[in-house]
Structure 1
Amino acid sequence: MSPSIPEETVKALLTVQPVAITNENFAQWGQVVRMPDADPNAVQVNQGSAQKYSHLAEITNLRPAATDSANPNPTLTSATTNVAIFKCYKPVTTPQFAIKLLERHPYSSQMFMPMGGDGNGSYVVVTAENGPDDKPVLSTLRAFKCNNTLGINYKPNIWHHPMIVVEKPVQFMTITHESGVPMEDCEEYWFTKESGSEGGAAALIQLA
């Protein structure tokens, strides 16, 4: 939390307590990418030395391919899949985290999968609903606690905060479709009007 936020302002800000993420409570925003407890469609592969669990996330690209001659929306630039690594090397060490902005990817899902498994830290996911003015609704802010054995996949056009890493640094493999057009790839909304503090915070996430 920014030290510039006065104590009286902190008391007035919306404060959200993260909850443990589940397939059910995250379904509105996307999918939890985890090893299924039971999967009747799992198959043995690699000469019986491995088990394969399929279709754990809905990877979505709403933009047409460059080769699509029947492109229904020629104003959109075609996008390609970007498999990247996010090295989140600054874990939050304060008991509260100030929310100043949210972002969304209008035409692509975005998957985050921690690399390293146990001992690689944990993280908090923050989401919000879209309002009739096509902006995030602050009062709908939700926060989810995630351990390092599972990933998450946002649906296209879901408002969310950049990853909040706690305890230790975490490296994520990410999958997103990008065109190189900034507003098509990632749109940001800063809570300037909603902010109740000089530091620009509009809400607080309770981390401890």
Structure 2
Amino acid sequence: MSTVRTKTITPSPLNAEAFSAYGDVIENTGSPDKIINQGKCGRFHDRANLDFGTGQAGISLFEAEARSLPYVVDMVERHPEGSQAFIPIDGVPMLVIVADDRDGKPVNLKAFISQPGQSINLHRGTWHGVLAPLDKAGRFVVVDRIGDGTNLEEHWFSDPWTVEVTDT
């Protein structure tokens, strides 16, 4: 009889520096790059690196059920043919799970919690958890690759991970 071991990770607030190896944090920080619309609108220009091997960019709408902490991660996925951006419509925070790649397998899982006004764009080929709005359901605009061919790889963990806030 095998014993399932659960590994625990503690989420961090999402920030551009800590997330840079996995993707872009999309937010309007600093001054706008351009002022448009007769001076009434600040444009924060080109905030994500969209990257598609084949196909084209598409915009989809997702409705995701609420998740809560502690949260069990038993599977991650990646998209080898394109980046994937998640933009919350309702301002619901997201639990963002990412992992490094070692020889085609996810390792060193990390967890982030988005703050109001933050969206993410996952780099092409980045291991990541499923869309997980925290504490209430959420609607999201998703910009990702639309095209023929396989663009999804899944990895199921024999020993799941648990994301929880720990007392330190």
Aligned residues: 164
Residues 30-57 of structure 1 deviation map (CA, whole Å, 9 limit, x = unaligned): 1000011235xx1111111111110110
Aligned to 1:152: 120
Residue type of the partner of 1:171?
R
More strand by proportion, 1 or 2?
2
Structure 1 segments (4+ residues) deviating >4 Å: none
Aligned to 1:143: 111
1:59 aligns with 2:50: yes
User: For structure 2, which runs of at least 5 residues remain unmatched after alignment?
Assistant: none
Residue type of the partner of 1:80?
Q
Residues 52-89 of structure 1 deviation map (CA, whole Å, 9 limit, x = unaligned): 110110011122xxxxxxxxxxxxxxx1222001111x
1:23 aligns with 2:38: no
- TM-score scaled to structure 2, two decimals? 0.90
RMSD value, Cα = 1.7
Per-residue deviation, 1:96: 1.2
1:187 aligns with 2:153: yes
Query: Hey, what's the Cα distance between the residues in 1 that align with 2:105 and 2:44?
Result: 36
Residues 100-154 of structure 1 deviation map (CA, whole Å, 9 limit, x = unaligned): 110001020100011134xxx211100111112x1112xx000001024110000
Query: Hey, what's the Cα distance between the residues in 2 that align with 1:126 and 1:205?
Result: 9
Residue type of the partner of 1:38?
S
1:176 aligns with 2:144: yes
SS at match of 1:24: helix
Per-residue deviation, 1:180: 3.5
Greater relative contact order (CA < 8 Å, ≥ 6 in sequence): 2
Report if the CA contact (8 A) 1:33-1:57 is conserved: yes
SS at match of 1:82: strand
1:87 aligns with 2:80: no
Report if the CA contact (8 A) 1:114-1:170 is conserved: yes
